[in-house]
Structure 1
């Protein structure tokens, strides 16, 4: 048997392994940003307004000790509360359209349906309005954010590959 013939299985295996993805893709080309590690991520009273990392919208930092149920909301929610959801590895989708935008909410809910599911069978993501975001839509995870005036499926799906990646308390279930 020739040496090349004996080496062929190893060469084929190494070429197949080289094609394996090395992990989630870098989403910065879509405008997804990764913020610095927060100085603190303490639990505050839910009445506190001193939460977050100073970004708009916040993606980490001090937050409320409560979490939101993972579902679609039609009323604005306390940022300090959903920040705690981010700490648990949940995805938060925000929208800013005071005139109403049921089609946009439905689109964000379809992305919510693609988020990871907790051990209790509940999808670990939230959709809620937020009048303070500087764009029409935003997708958030602990230390990660993306925002634009319209949903970008490639950007959102790329970002969702990183669900739980930086979360201090990843993979925690969410109440329905």
Structure 2
């Protein structure tokens, strides 16, 4: 009687795995069907070493905005900024699995920034109780708004809270050093 039990358990576990869906390297479907309308493609893998200076022009992976690559050895506190922050620093935040929300609104866009801050409030919480995300202006953006995770960028002309929620479902999935806390 003991011989059929391990086989039955194995068959049950196998059938449960099949019911879970694909086991391939397909990107996850965050948020289920509601998120299928959004695309958060992965950028190519690039070196993720530290550079000697946060002012280095070697930072990033060559994309605008950079979502991975070389970065400085310091990272930013997770909060909302009203002044531009060094890209080289927030790239380090991305490596730690933090979300970065950027805006380029020289004429002002407080309502839209409030939507970015609301998304920041939905980011994963570190073991120190701090949400692992930041909001900052960035005058170099090709669109008015960007939401970033390590190797993922979502550009927008206006903030889409649903898209940001779907992107946050991928927080830590691809980061080199996922789950690290962020100082307030």
Q: Which category of TM-score, normalised to the shorter sequence, fits these structures?
A: 0.7 to 0.9
> 1:35-50 maps to which residues of 2 (within 5 A)?
35-38=43-46, 40-44=47-51, 45-50=53-58
Of 56, 59, 64, which aligns to 2:72?
64
Pairwise CA distance, 1:49: 1.6
Cα 1:138–1:48 change in 2 (3 A) is: same
Residue 32 of structure 2 is aligned to residue 25 of structure 1: no
Q: Tell me the equivalent position of 2:177.
A: 169
1:84 to 92, 95, 110: 92
Which range moves more in the overlay, 40-49 or 111-120?
A: 40-49
Verify: 1:105 aligned to 2:113, yes or no: yes
Aligned mates of 1:169, 1:63 — CA distance in 2: 13
Partner of 1:5: none
Deviation for aligned residue 1:158: 1.3
Aligned counterparts of 1:106 and 1:135: Cα–Cα separation in 2: 17
Unpaired runs of 5+ residues, structure 1, are: 1-9
Q: How many residues align?
A: 166
Are the aligned partners of 1:31 and 1:155 in contact in 2 as well (CA < 8 Å)? no
TM superposition shift of 1:50: 1.0
Structure 2: distance between partners of 1:21 and 1:159: 20
- Point out where structure 2 has 5 or more consecutive residues left out of the alignment: 1-10
Displacement of 1:28: 7.2
Shift in alpha-carbon separation, 1:154–1:19, aligned structure 2, 3 A: farther
TM-score computed with the length of structure 1 as normaliser: 0.85
For residue 164 of structure 1, report the CA deviation from its aligned partner.
0.5
SS of 1:128's partner is: strand
Using structure 2 for the length normalisation, give the TM-score: 0.81
